[in-house]
Amino acid sequence: MFEHLARVEERFAALERELSRPEVARDAARYVQLAKEHAGLKPLVTKYRELKVTQDQLAQAEELQTTSDPDLRQLAEEEVKAARARIAQLEDELREMLVSEEETAHRNVIVELRAGTGGEEAALFVAVLLRMYGKYAEARRWSVELLDSRPTDLGGFKEVVFSVAGEDAYRDLRYESGVHRVQRVPVTESQGRIHTSTCTVAVLPEAEAVEVEINEERDLEVAFFHSSGPGGQNVNKVATAVRLTHLPTGLVVTAQDERSQRQNRVRALRILRSRLLDMRQREQQEERAGLRRSLIGSGERSERIRTYNFPQNRVTDHRINLTLYDLDHVLEGHLEELTEALRAHDRELRLKAFTQAADARARPGTGTRAGAGSQPPGEK
């Protein structure tokens, strides 16, 4: 069940060797990165090593059960019983550790909000979501920094990008990624008809510079342009806005809210690194036998995850079929009930997928993929 932990242990040993090298110690950024990874793996490796020691003790005790000495045989039987109980306990603890939130759970995040279908009404709802997340962050004592925005004439946003820094920011905000649907009477509607609009939310763990290497001379195409305000009019006479194109992947990032090219370039690089880290993590998750498709925390960006219905004062999360008739409260940033329910459900799915994968590997010739058959619920 825990075969792959041998590779984790090998990685842990390699990190210890790296951290002991003088040239690594002199590179502060590199040292911090490796030390953080080492610290993250240490509890898992320590528990795994204890499991291996206990398994060896069990094997030795089982050998003693064949002795002809009745006293020694009785002692061996007691040791076998104790070792088996401890092994079961350690396996349960390892299983819990393996399905807990990944290392990125405690990172800062970059959040991207974009208007979808619905025109100006969708842009106005982006502003509503921006305020909601701002209130939530304020209550958690997180800091928010606006990185880029595309405002509209009526006070909405075609797009807005901001960072959130604080303890467990990614752990709690990661479930917001997806399509958010709003049903309400728009301010532009004179006959009181309810319209349906959508916004997309992407929550990215913020990457550190040492994690995602970008050769700025070889990998980037840089362009400067005049920043624009509502209606598309230029708001700066000097071309301070920055557009970065990452040539290896085709990713394009812009930043225009600061008054200098240098500041906008720094912001654009932060966004680009986080998008590249997110892309790399998603590719790695796809390689893990399809496990990603069973987890609500890493769903497709095109998946409709939540509906905000204003006439009914209702918010419904379709992934866990949870409906709250307290929309006003939610939009004031009180997301705790939703977040806690999503985390609990995600953890349940992880444990189910992990157990199914282990059972499949224990049955020779089944060929069952890890995570198969454990799709999260959603609205049809």
In the chain the first and final C-alpha atoms are separated, in Å, by 35
Q: What CA–CA distance (Å, rounded) separates 331 from 186?
A: 17
Residue of 213, 121, 111 lying closest to 158 (CA atoms): 121
Is residue 60 located within the same domain as residue 143? Answer: no
> Tell me, what CATH number does 113's domain have?
3.30.70.1660
Residue type, 35: A
* Residues composing the chain: 380
Given the DSSP bridges, would you call strands 178-184 and 304-309 parallel, antiparallel or unpaired?
A: parallel
Find how far residue 329's CA is from the centre of its chain. 25
Question: Could you say which of 288, 308, 328 is where a domain stops?
Answer: 308
DSSP conformational letter for 234: B
Are both 94 and 128 inside the same structural domain? no
Q: Which two tokens stand for residue 173?
A: 């905000």
Q: Are residues 13 and 117 in the same domain?
A: no
Give the mean pLDDT of 236-244: 74
42 and 170, same structural domain? Answer: no
> Does residue 171 carry a pLDDT above 60?
yes
* 263-285 mean pLDDT: 83
Q: What is the pLDDT of residue 33?
A: 84
Say yes or no: 121 and 177 in one domain: yes
Residues 189 and 217 in one domain: yes
Structural domain including 59 reads 5-99
Q: At CB < 8 A and 24+ separation, what contacts does 335-344 make?
A: 335/132, 335/136, 335/172, 338/175, 339/172, 339/175, 341/317, 342/175, 342/296, 342/297, 342/317, 343/171, 343/172, 343/175
Based on the domain organization, do 94 and 114 belong to the same domain? no
pLDDT in tens, 106-158: 788 999 999 999 999 999 999 999 999 999 999 999 999 999 899 998 899 99
Residue 272 domain flag: yes
Indicate whether 11 belongs to any domain.
yes
Distance CA 162, CA 293 (A): 27
Radius of gyration of the chain (CA): 26
Is residue 66 pLDDT above 80, yes or no? yes
- Total domains in the chain come to 2
Angstrom distance (rounded) from CA 295 to CA 353 = 9
Last-in-domain residue among 76, 99, 122: 99
| In a shared domain, residues 248 and 139 | yes
Residues 250 and 143 reside in one and the same domain: yes
Same domain for 28 and 177: no
Residues 150 and 195 placed together within one structural domain of the fold: yes
Question: What confidence score (pLDDT) does residue 134 get?
Answer: 97
186 domain-assigned: yes
With tokens 């909601």, the residue in question is 132
Q: Which residues contact 282 (CB under 8 A, 6 or more apart)?
A: 292, 298
* Extended strands (E) in 37-166: 109-115, 143-151, 157-165
| Alpha carbons 145 and 354: distance in angstroms, whole number | 37
Predicted confidence at residue 144, as pLDDT, reads 95
Q: Which two tokens stand for residue 21?
A: 């090298």
**Could you tell me if 225 and 143 are in contact, meaning their C-beta atoms sit under 8 angstroms apart?**
no
In a domain, 375, yes or no: no
Confidence check: pLDDT of 37 > 60? yes
**What are the pLDDT digits (tens) for 17-35?**
999 999 999 998 889 888 9
